[in-house]
Amino acid sequence: DQQVKQNSPSLSVQEGRISILNCDYTNSMFDYFLWYKKYPAEGPTFLISISSIKDKNEDGRFTVFLNKSAKHLSLHIVPSQPGDSAVYFCAASAGGGSQGNLIFGKGTKLSVKP
Amino acid sequence: ETGVTQTPRHLVMGMTNKKSLKCEQHLGHNAMYWYKQSAKKPLELMFVYNFKEQTENNSVPSRFSPECPNSSHLFLHLHTLQPEDSALYLCASSSDPANYGYTFGSGTRLTVV
C-alpha cells in the first residue's frame, strides 16, 4: 500500500506559467514533507520541505502548500522555466532527526515548453 | 557533484556473478541509505545505517548484502541476482532528513542478464 501518492505521472506546462505538482499521503503520523527534483542520469536533489506545523513554505520560485486535513500537499513553481523540466518526487517522514526515514512517491515528470 | 559518490555508474552482471556497489560521503553525515528505483515505481528504501549500525532492513532479499565499515562508506554486495533486480541503485546520506533532506549520489545503473 502506497503511503505517498503522486497520481499524475506527467505534467506539461508552458514557460512562464505556473506548474502545480500534487501529492497525497495516507499516514497521519507523517510530520515532515519534502520535494526532490531529479534530472536523468543524476540522483535526486533536495528542493524544499515543510513541517506539519506550517501550511506554506516559500523559497524563490518554489512554494509548497500543505493541507493536513486533506492529507495533501502541492508544489507550485512560478514562473516555470525550461530548466525546471525534471522528475519531481514527493517524500514524507514520520519523526525528525536521524530517525526520520523518507517515504517517496512515484514521481511526476514535468516538461516546461519554451 | 553532490558530495555523495557512487561507483560504478553502470554495471552489467550475470546472474551467477558477485559484484559490489560502493558509496562514499565526506559530508559528516551520520546516516547512510540504499534505495532502489525501478521503472514506474516509487523509490524503495532498502537499508539504513546510523552511526555504522544497521537500523533498518526493509525486507530485502538476502542476495543483497550491505556493509558499512565506517560512517563515510557504504557497500552493497550483490550475488546471484535476478533480471528483475535490474534498476537504479541510489545511495544517500543525511544528518537530519526531515529538515535538510537526503543528499543522494548519482546512482549505479544495474543490469542483470
Residue B1: band (very low, low, confident or very high) from pLDDT cuts 50, 70, 90: low
B98 to A43: CB separation less than 8 angstroms, yes or no: no
The set of residues, in sequence order, having a beta carbon less than 8 Å from that of B99 and lying 6+ positions away, is A32, A49, A96
Residues of B in contact with A49 (CB under 8 A): 98-101
In chain A, the DSSP E strands lie at 4-5, 10-14, 19-25, 32-38, 45-51, 56-59, 62-67, 72-77, 86-93, 102-104, 108-113
* Residue recorded with cell 551520520: B30
Give the pLDDT confidence score for residue B95 in this predicted structure: 86
Query: What is d(CA B7, CA B65) in angstroms, rounded to the nearest whole number?
Result: 16
DSSP state of A98: G
CB atoms within 10 A of CB A84: 18
What is the per-residue burial (b if ≥16 Cβ within 10 Å, else e) of B75-88?
bbebeebeeebbbb
Angle at B96 between CA A105 and CA A76, to 5 degrees: 45
Round to whole Å and give the CA distance between B104 and B100.
Answer: 12
* Cβ contact B103–A46 (<8 Å): yes
- Exposed, middle or buried by CB within 10 Å (0-12, 13-18, 19+), for B52? middle
At residue B98, the pLDDT reads 67
Q: Which of residues 21-80 of B touch A (CB under 8 A)?
A: 30-31, 33, 35, 40-43, 45, 48, 50, 56
Q: Which H or E run includes B100?
A: helix B97-100
Distance between CA atoms of residues B87 and B13, nearest Å: 12
pLDDT > 80? residue A95: no
Q: Which three cell numbers stand for residue A98?
A: 536521524
Mean pLDDT, chain B, integer: 91
Tally C-beta pairs within 8 A across A and B.
Answer: 80
A43 vs B48, B50, B105: nearest CB: B105
Residue with cell 531529479: A38
CA distance A59 to A34: 13
**Chain B residues touching A44 at Cβ < 8 A:** 43, 90, 102, 104
In this complex, do A89 and B43 lie within 8 Å of one another by their Cβ atoms?
A: yes
pLDDT higher than 80, residue B97: no
Instruction: Collect all residues of chain B within an 8 Å Cβ-Cβ radius of residue A46.
Output: 100-103
Question: Mean pLDDT, to the nearest integer, of B11-33?
Answer: 94
Q: Read off the pLDDT of residues A6-38 as tens digits, 9 standing for 90 and up.
A: 999 999 999 999 999 999 999 998 989 999 999
Residue A75 has pLDDT above 90, yes or no: yes
